[in-house]
Amino acid sequence: MLFGKKSGIKNRNRERYDRVRRLMWIKCESCGKLVYYKDYKDNHYICPMCGRAFIMTPKQRFDLLFDDMTWEKIALPTVTDDPLHFTDRMPYAERLVKARKDTGCNDAITTADGTIGGIPSTVCVLNGDFMMGSMGRAAGDGIIASIDHAIEQRRPFIMVACSGGARMQENILSLMQMARTTVAVNRLHENSIPYIVLLTDPTYGGVTASFAMLGDIHIAEQGARIGFAGRRVIEQNIREKLPSNFQTADYLYEHGMVDMVVPRAELHDKIAKILAVLTQQSRTPKEINVATPAAANKPARGMGETAAYDKVLLARNENRPHFLDYINGIVEDWTYLAGDRSFAEDAAMGSGIGFWHGIPAVIIGQEQGRDIETRQKHRFGMANPDGYRKAQRMMRLAEKFNLPIISLFDTAGAFAGREGEERGQSQAVASSIATGLSVKTPYVAVNVGQGGSGGAIAIGTGDRVLMMENAIYSVIAPESCASILWKDNKFKADAAQAMKLTARDMADMKVIDQIIPEPAGGAHTDWQTTMEYLSSAVAAQIKELQQQKPEKLPKARADKFLKMTRDIESVTE
């Protein structure tokens, strides 16, 4: 027996022993096991037995997030207590006194300044130990003052949310904090200040329905439970058993609400990488060092019918580099950003931020997958509406921080299926085209493989449109064209020739601005050279566009597309 009478400790020393024991051991509320406190602390206050991540105090959060555990707390405004003279089982005034004594904090908000990855930043913590992190007048004023401070100092603002929702003891005064804090967040966006929200366990109610779901980047801490109404309330209302993973961090990721799920120990480095791009820190261009897969040099089948159809086969070659291959080979400090904030994370549309040839940028593009499993996951690069809405979100993110947009499109088209139609595929593609034409930031689009129909042009309306030498661009696949017009798809090669779908054809018709050369035999034969050509070509275009005023780019972009297809004479071989 570990503790108790049989331990040999005399009764007169028991009180002292129990006090020491409480400092050395804790009982995990999740798995019920005793954990040595030092192990618990060294594991960032995560139970080493079951992995449950427990609420951290503001000091612990600051130590975790700021460089070298160095930070300075900022003063926040105070408000009068108990404006409604509220009493339930205990007067609200007494609850406040107890919460202050237990936590050492005046209310649920504590804010500090420090650096993250060397970048001066402000971190605001909603303390879950102070009356369940509920939001009342003091918390609302604290958040607003913290945001105003970040705007004044031009510091990125990181909000650490942990809350049960609005504070019932303040009723309507608490509800109004949802609107008040949203006003402050709008000011952050207007001033182009990076706003990162860290959602921790638990985050619910009016907090998620206001400032905590309005960030530029949403990070869910691994193991967090996040939602509007609690699980028990929902089950009681709908009389239905919910999935076991309902409202977990991973569940929100799958449903497009958060950009990433990050273990607690990795939060500092992840946020530092994000801030480096959003604040446009300088980088030297990454040295490209990639190997061409051994299978890439296998001869392609079916070549030789027509020159145009040979390009079709090269564009579709299974060993050709795809979006994520280019990201891994070219981009430094890549951070994948997920979700459309409405319904789902669509893996067919890749998106994120990183340094392209040393240039901080937002990068989007279709990923086709490499094997059976990944092709199913990425749906062969054919995005649902969620993917195109995610692309629009990325375009607006780029515009806010004046980051160039790089689009690598490679798709047979938008996904044609029931789910896509139900969720508005046409509207999503149309909105992507419109957003791409209107954003006030440099935009370079590159056709790296198959430029298929609306699914391609949805992310292809750049200031500069480039095309790999062996890529194709068409309104429909040549096989489908042959089936419809020739009534037999065996005429696919003839259809390809007639459609004028090659990069050379596009340049002659002034649909594209530049052809990027490929190694002899195609991009799939030499990944290193292909990526070097692509990286430098895109970087050169971005540097040229960055010399122009951002507000003038949309008109020039619109004029470019308005002129396109006018006075096109017949293109001959």
Tens-digit pLDDT profile for residues 244-258? 899 999 999 999 999
Say what the pTM is: 0.91
- At residue 546, φ and ψ (nearest 5 deg) are -70, -10
526's CB contacts (< 8 A; 6+ apart) are: 292, 519
Tell me the CATH number of domain 55-278, given options 3.40.640.10, 3.40.50.300, 3.40.50.2300, 3.90.226.10: 3.90.226.10
Beta-bridge mates of residue 126: 109
The whole-angstrom separation of Cα 330 and Cα 92 is 58
Q: In this model, does residue 351 exceed pLDDT 80?
A: yes
Q: Which of 295-309, 365-379, 500-514, 536-550 has the lowest mean pLDDT?
A: 295-309
Which class would CATH give 317-475+500-563?
A: alpha beta
pLDDT at 64: 97
Which percentage of the chain shows pLDDT scores above 90? Answer: 81
Question: What is the band of 555 on the pLDDT scale with cuts at 50, 70, 90?
Answer: very high
pLDDT at 23: 63
Residue ranges per structural domain of the chain: 1-54, 55-278, 317-475+500-563
Contact 470, 506 (CB under 8 A): no
Contact 380, 412 (CB under 8 A): yes
Q: Strand (E) positions, 315-470? A: 331-336, 349-356, 359-366, 405-411, 443-452, 464-468
Query: Which one is predicted more confidently, 492 or 298?
Result: 492
Question: What is the band of 22 on the pLDDT scale with cuts at 50, 70, 90?
Answer: low
Q: Which DSSP helix (H) or strand (E) runs through 267?
A: helix 267-278
- At residue 91, φ and ψ (nearest 5 deg) are -60, 140
pLDDT at 212: 97
Q: How many CB atoms lie within 10 A of CB 396?
A: 16
Q: What is the pLDDT of residues 2-14, one digit of tens each?
A: 344 444 444 556 6
DSSP 525-565: G-HHHHHHHHHHHHHHHHHHHTTS-GGGHHHHHHHHHHHTT
Q: What is the pLDDT of residues 383-415, one digit of tens each?
A: 999 999 999 999 999 999 999 999 999 999 999
pLDDT at 569: 62
Q: In this model, does residue 372 exceed pLDDT 60?
A: yes
Question: What is the band of 235 on the pLDDT scale with cuts at 50, 70, 90?
Answer: confident
